[in-house]
Chain A
Amino acid sequence: MMFIDPHAHMISRTTDDYEAMAAAGVVAVIEPAFWVGQPRTHVGTYIDYLSAIIGFERFRSGQFGIRHYCTVGLNSKEANNEELAEAVMEILPRFALKEGVVAIGEIGYDEQTELEDRYFRAQLELAKELELPVMIHTPHRDKKRGTTRSMDVCEEHGMDPSMIVVDHNNEETVREVVDRGYWAAFSIYPSTKMGNARMVDILEQYGADRIMVDSACDWGISEPLGVAKTAKLALERGIPEDNVRKVCYENALAAYGQSGQMHEDDWLNPAPIDQRTVYEGNSILRGGREPLVQEASVKRNADDLIIE
């Protein structure tokens, strides 16, 4: 089965992760612009970060046969630095129309401050102007009310819920998000967000419509195989294959494909220009190495002695 991980901060991950994901069936990832573990203090570092996720990370991913897409946006934490936030808002339109940018995101609330609110709204307007989907990061703290508020604000701005993915849901938020017509994403992230056994419970209860699973893997202790492992567990527990395919592949494609920047053909039948430049297909890594898929077992093993 093919998988899409619609939320993965690959810029923080190693090549081992790319190999493991490719071997597990991941054909595409979406890298949301977020903060990098500590606050940026200059717009220049923001520009270089956005350049990296639209450029080098896309290229790096392509070497492993995984198609890379991204979202661009000012995240809620850094929205609280007004000087930085103003400067980032100035440059965002320059990046929002780049190849492979599938949404404005991840945006929303962290501490639900006035500044967060201001820039969340400004970015919803930008998404509307550019006809791009939106990826909403729901807050870790005061999550339930923060999630409701995020959707209220979207509707105040006349946004169409079908263009919006509300991410980092849990058992407490999912009902309202689905009922209001938004896409509901779940991050299978150990300890702090969802576990995959709980996720399967949710699939049993809610079915697969408008639900998607991601790993949200980043610089923290996280699991780049979150989507693949959830799919496997779900199948083992008797979730119908069609539903597993929806939540681990089709729904992400349907939601973010609305950008016009993400098509199944990108990995099934890539354009010649891409094959020459950015996407090396799901078979070999440059430099005459053997096909990845066979060798992608655990490399982090001191008994695997030879390094060539």
Chain B
Amino acid sequence: MNTTVAANAAALIETWLATRLTHEQQQWLDSQLIKVLVANSDRDLHITLGMIPRKLGRDDLHLNADALAAANDLRSGWDPSNWSVDCLARVYVLCKLAAQADSGFSDTLTDLCRNADLAELLALYNGACLYPQSDALDRQIGEGLRTNMRAVFESIAHNSPYPAEQFDQNRWNHMVLKALFIDSTLFPIQGLDKRANAELAIILCDYAHERWAANRPVTPELWRCVGPFATDTMVADLHRASQSENQTERVGAMLALSNCPNPEAAPIVDGLPALRDDISSGKLSWDWVSAQLKQ
């Protein structure tokens, strides 16, 4: 089992914590780590993770660009830009543990998840791409995705390389669909374009029809995974969406049509020349759609 990433991540996090923690906070964390790692105390592990926000606070980290680049260099896709200090410290403890515990780590993680509060769950799952990969870890991540709490779901699905690397097609497709069901967003999902597939396109178009039947809005992001695999009927769906009264919905459909190999798509794109030109010039893009959805 490869623990190098966890060990390196712990070392990098240590440098970030060093600039943020007071001397007392640092001392507290170090002494807890000794209990957890050297004495191997399960009770102290629970207490340490529980006490971290009380001792170290819950402020947002606001890591600078250099730090984020270092994270991405260390583990491609690792993105702690939205982390808080308690989350960082918890992942730090877990990485230290993973680097040492080897095969027992996934059992520990499963046990921690069973007793975790929401902020702890976010930390446990946010660190997923840093832990040694195992079937047990994979099962726990799958379990986490079944949550009803959107933030927990997003701690797995968003801003992480783990899903695109590890999920089979069925889990991937259901993750994308669930994101829509719980009013989450798709753009923070890494590998969204790479993992698009024909079956997902079918599922998403069925979902769009359900929404239309219920007179509910259809998020424009949905079409992003449809375009490359659109059949004739799906192109018709995209056509319908391109006629929407909502500008962002129109743009989403047009972006998908522009990226659609089906010959039916091109005439629709050419029918809306203003949007077409803004897309080819790069003025309109999925980033633009994401920015609208963030507002």
A residues near B, CB below 8 A? 47, 51, 54-56, 58-59, 91, 93-95, 97-100, 260, 271-273, 276-278, 286-288
> Bound state CA distance, A9 and B168, in angstroms?
40
Can you list 26 A-B pairs with a CB-CB distance of less than 8 A?
A: A51-B115, A51-B116, A54-B118, A55-B116, A55-B149, A56-B148, A59-B118, A59-B151, A91-B115, A93-B46, A97-B46, A97-B54, A98-B120, A99-B117, A99-B118, A99-B119, A99-B120, A100-B117, A271-B58, A273-B60, A273-B84, A277-B118, A277-B122, A277-B151, A278-B151, A288-B217
Neighbouring B residues of A55 by C-beta, 8 Å: 116-118, 121, 149
Least Cβ distance of A273 to chain B in Å?
5
Neighbouring B residues of A278 by C-beta, 8 Å: 118, 151
> Bound state CA distance, A287 and B217, in angstroms?
10
> Bound state CA distance, A93 and B51, in angstroms?
12
> Bound state CA distance, A7 and B230, in angstroms?
55
Least Cβ distance of B107 to chain A in Å?
16
| B23 CB within 8 Å of chain A | no
Query: Given the known A-B contacts A51-B115, A277-B122, are A97 and B151 also in contact in the complex, defined by CB atoms under 8 Å?
Result: no
Neighbouring B residues of A95 by C-beta, 8 Å: 115
Least Cβ distance of B20 to chain A in Å?
15
Give the residues from 144 to 167 in chain B that come closer than 8 angstroms, CB to CB, to chain A.
148-151
Neighbouring A residues of B116 by C-beta, 8 Å: 51, 55
Set A59, A93, A99: member contacting B53, Cβ < 8 A: A99
Neighbouring B residues of A97 by C-beta, 8 Å: 46-47, 50-51, 54
> Bound state CA distance, A287 and B117, in angstroms?
25
> Chain B: which residue is nearest A58 at the CB level?
B118
| B245 CB within 8 Å of chain A | no
| B283 CB within 8 Å of chain A | no
Neighbouring A residues of B183 by C-beta, 8 Å: 286-287
B residues near A, CB below 8 A? 43, 46-47, 50-51, 53-54, 58-60, 82, 84, 114-122, 148-151, 183, 217
Least Cβ distance of A284 to chain B in Å?
11
> Bound state CA distance, A272 and B116, in angstroms?
20
Set B46, B82, B148: member contacting A94, Cβ < 8 A: B46
B149 touches A59 (CB 8 A): yes
Neighbouring A residues of B114 by C-beta, 8 Å: 47, 51
Query: Given the known A-B contacts A93-B43, A98-B50, A271-B58, are A276 and B151 also in contact in the complex, defined by CB atoms under 8 Å?
Result: yes
> Bound state CA distance, A272 and B119, in angstroms?
13
> Chain A: which residue is nearest B151 at the CB level?
A277
> Chain A: which residue is nearest B112 at the CB level?
A94
> Bound state CA distance, A260 and B57, in angstroms?
12
> Bound state CA distance, A69 and B238, in angstroms?
46
> Bound state CA distance, A56 and B53, in angstroms?
20
> Bound state CA distance, A58 and B121, in angstroms?
14
Set B47, B54, B60, B217: member contacting A260, Cβ < 8 A: B54
Least Cβ distance of A213 to chain B in Å?
28
A272 touches B60 (CB 8 A): yes
> Bound state CA distance, A99 and B134, in angstroms?
29
> Bound state CA distance, A237 and B116, in angstroms?
46
> Chain A: which residue is nearest B83 at the CB level?
A273
B119 touches A277 (CB 8 A): yes
Beyond A51-B116, A100-B117, 5 additional contacts (C-beta under 8 Å) are: A55-B116, A97-B51, A260-B54, A273-B119, A278-B151
Set B46, B60, B117: member contacting A54, Cβ < 8 A: B117
Neighbouring A residues of B82 by C-beta, 8 Å: 276
Set B43, B47, B50, B149: member contacting A56, Cβ < 8 A: B149
Neighbouring B residues of A288 by C-beta, 8 Å: 217
Set A56, A91, A260, A273: member contacting B58, Cβ < 8 A: A273
> Bound state CA distance, A259 and B151, in angstroms?
25
> Bound state CA distance, A55 and B148, in angstroms?
10
> Bound state CA distance, A286 and B181, in angstroms?
11
> Chain A: which residue is nearest B53 at the CB level?
A99
Least Cβ distance of A161 to chain B in Å?
25
Neighbouring A residues of B150 by C-beta, 8 Å: 286
> Bound state CA distance, A246 and B273, in angstroms?
65
Least Cβ distance of B27 to chain A in Å?
20
Least Cβ distance of B93 to chain A in Å?
15
> Bound state CA distance, A288 and B148, in angstroms?
18
Neighbouring B residues of A98 by C-beta, 8 Å: 50, 117, 120
> Bound state CA distance, A59 and B150, in angstroms?
9
> Chain A: which residue is nearest B214 at the CB level?
A308
Neighbouring B residues of A51 by C-beta, 8 Å: 114-116
Neighbouring A residues of B60 by C-beta, 8 Å: 272-273
